[in-house]
Structure 1
């Protein structure tokens, strides 16, 4: 450049600056909408690395001072400590504010969303006396988790946690009867006009069916993300939508709903469990297996993977045991039948006649009919070696023993002797169920309001 004059050097410098600005602009142009802007902005959106403003963190707090000094981790730890203290002192309004600050600093840390949703729905709600108020806090926990999925669209575990929340917190808590009702018809009638809170249940579905949708989305995200999840073994994780369908059918039975909708729910569960889940391939140390693979299919898979047929059978059996595949297949197969539906309906009705209407004659007759049908169902499942897979079903054994307890008690009240033989006597006399029978007897006495032995 020594031969150039001042004007020429300035032109060269200007051209160099312009050339350098092109990649800088290409890489660093800010986005004016999701997916726009330069390469860095687009990558930030693609991998969800962008953070929300920290403006909601108290600017006068020690936490903000730490953030400004670059001590983000220390600031987050302080906020977690504050949240625990606010939970201990039941300072709920301040707790919510602190939680909001935590997620501004840790939006991609899954534990934040799961733990704080649990905190709101389980710990805070338990402090409320009215069930409606408890449900309001449960909804806040659900909405918090949903926000977590919106901020972390590539984390299948968060979608799965949301499914767990919708299914188990709504459907298995002590207040499940009212929670399930509120999930369909929110107690805030002024806002939701007798319908559900559409932020958690926009399609007015049963909570277990909403849970199923979240589990399905978790599986979709898992597939899209290339199989990255660290919550459960893959066959267990993938099976949750199908199990949620079974939970839906079971919940309807528990509520005394034994019509065609419930039978169809079980039929759907059986079809999907065997034809969809059962035909999905899972990778094992012995190669690919399918739960519903027949011997000829297993031989083909064994040949493809270079292992023996016995090896393939061993891994199929091991994975079936992992997910309790055969049990759930049998449960769905049996529950979808008209005979089992009638047996369950009559046992439920017999308990109701005894407990609610004190109709001893009606309860005796209906319970006997239900017990007879249940015995018929059990007899239909006997294997060639004499064993019976239904006798491994804890829930069925419990229902049978409950029915016998009430039936025998009704006979005593009527002054009638218990006959030497009756349906389900094999279960009643089986020493294998002695502890279960005694536990149910003790519970029956409490249910009756009696402490006599």
Structure 2
């Protein structure tokens, strides 16, 4: 009896398996030229999930995935561990082979391409002493990403990261001077890149491909992919789109550090400003579910001002009346601290001041509710619009601060002026004269540069507390060493004393220079003993936390490459008259038709 039950149970199992083959065939039937296939095949086609939709089909990869028979995750884990072992043992050929095997099994896992390309370009390359071998492994990382782009058609993250490594790794590495020159001469690599991007559009001032401009072409290709509807995943749209114009900014600062000044640098800054303007007009998706345009901040502020004026017309005198009522309800301590200027606040009244300001703030809705009856409905509607516009304004300002949009816009405009060109040309030539031991000539050029920089900062005060001022500190310290060789001290009327004051806490040598100006330092340690004993009130004021403006993020700058020829040095008359008539410092490297005279608003080359 038991044998008969077992027999029929097996019959039922086999029958069920046979019956299940029909729905499985209906679900998993592959697509053919004449048929759309089963359910899964149609879903893959509709959602572009097939390998043919995602990118090129790799026959070797497909064969390997089939041969693993469902053990692909285990094989991938073993290969990752194997790659780490090869890296520890510095077996670079084995590492490259293992990475290729991983990509055969996981061709559409974007993190694999990003992680391993970074590994090759940043981690493996530094293991070599010869900078040429380091450059070779940087380019291998870029080649690795290009292979990933083929298998993941127009993936924005891979395209963007290719541009990042091309620009940042080659342009910011410790060996950036050598890397940039190797990149310019690497015609074989250019020919390979030409199959992906129009490398001819990346030619710099010397007619050869530049790494920053090449990186920009990758960024532009990534933006076109996003604009075509390919979703951007794992990357902030704000930062993603900012790297395109910032490539031109980085190119401009780099060629200036290399001594390419004059009209060439002006044109480059003009193009960078145009790119930033285009970026400001681009709609940027936000985490709040709507788009913002960074360049519309001024228009939004103007609209706010007009609406506030209109609200005052609908409710004349109401805002001031409400504020006076709120002031009357303050405590005596809060009322006394309300009108104290911020620079005079102390620990004793700082919190009272902040509380008073918050309590006396009058909202637009409060004004609208107290408007005359005939204007109240219009005033309330206008107050709602004002609230929405203020939220939009604050969000645009927040996004602009993340990418330092205000500063770079001002910097691009300032660098196009003749004053900026004069300041940089004099400074570069002064350093060249100092290196050539022409101390008197170097001193004249340094001082001409300081006056030009002072004029530039007077025209653009926002630049004082910025990256270019940090770069200028190195030139000031070199000027100090020059004066020491001439047995002189820093003059009391030094035009850039404000920079010394702002940076005295960052650099001990700048603090010493600031002392020479005869200006008292902020540190108590530098004050005489009598001055250290202060009344309690004075100590309280001194203890107040400073209300400083947020500084732009310091960015690492490449050091200027030593010039191949000594530039022409202007005479003192040049300093007083036309400093821009001096030839650019990198004269040998410039095109023959280059005119160093700079117009205030240069136009890009047609």
Same fold, judged at TM 0.5 (above)? yes
SS of corresponding position for 2:429: helix
Please give the per-residue CA displacement for 1:392-443, whole angstroms capped at 9, x wherever unaligned. Answer: 21x2222332222222221221123332111111222x2x32122327789x
Alpha-carbon distance in 2 for matches of 1:315, 1:41: 36
Aligned to 1:249: 252
Structure 1 residues 154 and 297, CA gap change in structure 2 (3 angstroms):
farther
Alpha-carbon distance in 1 for matches of 2:128, 2:238: 39
Query: Which residues in structure 2 correspond to 1:366-385 (within 5 Å)?
Result: 366-381=445-460
1:235 and 2:238 aligned:
yes
Pick from 456, 464, 468 the counterpart of residue 396 of structure 1: 468
Structure 1 residues 76 and 440, CA gap change in structure 2 (3 angstroms):
farther
Aligned to 1:26: 34
How far is 1:360 from its partner? 0.9
Alpha-carbon distance in 1 for matches of 2:458, 2:48: 67
Structure whose CA Rg is larger: 2
Larger RCO (alpha carbons 8 Å, 6+ apart): 2
Query: Which residues in structure 2 correspond to 1:1-150 (within 5 Å)?
Result: 26-27=34-35, 44-48=51-55, 50-54=57-61, 67-150=67-150
1:342 and 2:422 aligned:
yes
1:216 and 2:220 aligned:
yes
How far is 1:52 from its partner? 3.5
Alpha carbons 2:284, 2:291 under 8 Å: kept: yes
Structure 1 residues 150 and 49, CA gap change in structure 2 (3 angstroms):
closer
Alpha-carbon distance in 2 for matches of 1:422, 1:345: 19
Please give the per-residue CA displacement for 1:188-238, whole angstroms capped at 9, x wherever unaligned. Answer: xxxx4xx7642236434210000001111111112223443212x212211
Alpha carbons 2:300, 2:393 under 8 Å: kept: no
Q: Tell which deviates more after alignment, 67-76 or 39-48.
A: 39-48
Pick from 404, 410, 413 the counterpart of residue 485 of structure 2: 413
Alpha-carbon distance in 2 for matches of 1:404, 1:25: 73
Alpha carbons 2:62, 2:104 under 8 Å: kept: no
Alpha carbons 1:282, 1:290 under 8 Å: kept: yes
Matched positions, count: 388
Please give the per-residue CA displacement for 1:161-214, whole angstroms capped at 9, x wherever unaligned. Answer: 00110001110111110110111103xxxxx4xx76422364342100000011
Query: Which residues in structure 2 correspond to 1:355-374 (within 5 Å)?
Result: 356-374=435-453
Alpha carbons 1:298, 1:313 under 8 Å: kept: no
Structure 1 residues 286 and 124, CA gap change in structure 2 (3 angstroms):
closer
1:207 and 2:211 aligned:
yes
Alpha-carbon distance in 2 for matches of 1:56, 1:286: 44
How far is 1:101 from its partner? 0.5
Please give the per-residue CA displacement for 1:249-270, whole angstroms capped at 9, x wherever unaligned. Answer: 1110111111322210101111
Structure 1 residues 340 and 23, CA gap change in structure 2 (3 angstroms):
closer
Q: Which runs of 5+ in 2 are unaligned?
A: 1-28, 38-44, 201-207, 308-380, 513-558, 560-606
Aligned to 1:291: 294
Alpha-carbon distance in 2 for matches of 1:152, 1:423: 56
Structure 1 residues 56 and 95, CA gap change in structure 2 (3 angstroms):
farther
Query: Which residues in structure 2 correspond to 1:421-436 (within 5 Å)?
Result: 421-428=493-500, 430=501, 432-436=502-506
Alpha carbons 1:402, 1:440 under 8 Å: kept: no
SS of corresponding position for 1:26: coil
Alpha carbons 2:433, 2:442 under 8 Å: kept: yes
Q: Which runs of 4+ in 1 moved over 6 A?
A: 38-42, 439-442
1:438 and 2:517 aligned:
no
TM-score by length of 1: 0.77
Alpha-carbon distance in 1 for matches of 2:102, 2:177: 34
**RMSD of equivalent CA atoms:** 3.2
Alpha carbons 2:450, 2:495 under 8 Å: kept: yes
How far is 1:311 from its partner? 1.9
How far is 1:342 from its partner? 1.6
Alpha carbons 1:372, 1:423 under 8 Å: kept: yes
How far is 1:159 from its partner? 0.6
Aligned to 1:279: 281
Q: Which runs of 5+ in 1 are unaligned?
A: 1-20, 30-37, 58-63, 187-191, 382-387, 448-453
How far is 1:41 from its partner? 11
Alpha-carbon distance in 1 for matches of 2:414, 2:246: 16
Aligned to 1:158: 158
How far is 1:376 from its partner? 0.5
Alpha-carbon distance in 1 for matches of 2:239, 2:181: 29
Structure 1 residues 161 and 391, CA gap change in structure 2 (3 angstroms):
same
Query: Which residues in structure 2 correspond to 1:177-192 (within 5 Å)?
Result: 177-186=177-186, 192=187
Alpha carbons 1:156, 1:222 under 8 Å: kept: yes
TM-score by length of 2: 0.59
